[in-house]
Amino acid sequence: MQTLIRWRLKEVMARYDIRAGDLAKAMGVSHNSIANLRKAKTMPRLDGESLNKLCNALNFLAQDLTGEITPIDLISYTKDPVTPTPAETPGETELEQSSQTRKLHSTDNQSPTSLFVA
């Protein structure tokens, strides 16, 4: 299965030369918590408060920052490859069966005498 949403904390930290220990201290969490966040390949479950705290700490520690680090910088999205399904067209035998079924149903409503009238 292809990962469509990737967690990019490790890349952001490398780009702005942010150390895990410094980030842990700025956020008030353990070094192991930051190590686990950095190792994650897919987006971890973070509530809004934690994500805000993470972005604030990254912005505080970032060197050579030209803009703000936002949650959008921490994820990358790849569009789900949609495989179009071909339109199902009935085969010749299905058409014939459908036609025969309609003929049978149309004659079911007729009385037996009307079937034999010439």
Q: How many other CB atoms sit within 10 Å of the CB of residue 9?
A: 22
Map out the domains of the chain with their CATH numbers.
5-77 (1.10.260.40)
Counting every residue, how long is the chain?
118
Q: pLDDT per residue over 31-41, tens digit each?
A: 999 999 998 88
Closest to 62 (Cα-Cα) out of 18, 23, 11? 18
Q: Do residues 38 and 13 make contact, with C-beta atoms less than 8 angstroms apart?
A: yes
Q: What is the pLDDT of residues 60-107, one digit of tens each?
A: 999 777 789 999 999 888 877 776 556 654 555 555 555 555 555 555
From the list 51, 69, 61, the residue with the least C-alpha distance to 23 is 61
**Using CA atoms, how far apart are residues 57 and 26, in angstroms rounded to an integer?**
6
1 pLDDT band, cuts 50/70/90, is low
Quick one: which H or E segment has residue 7?
strand 5-7
On average, the pLDDT of the chain sits at: 77
> Which secondary-structure segment (H or E) carries 110?
none
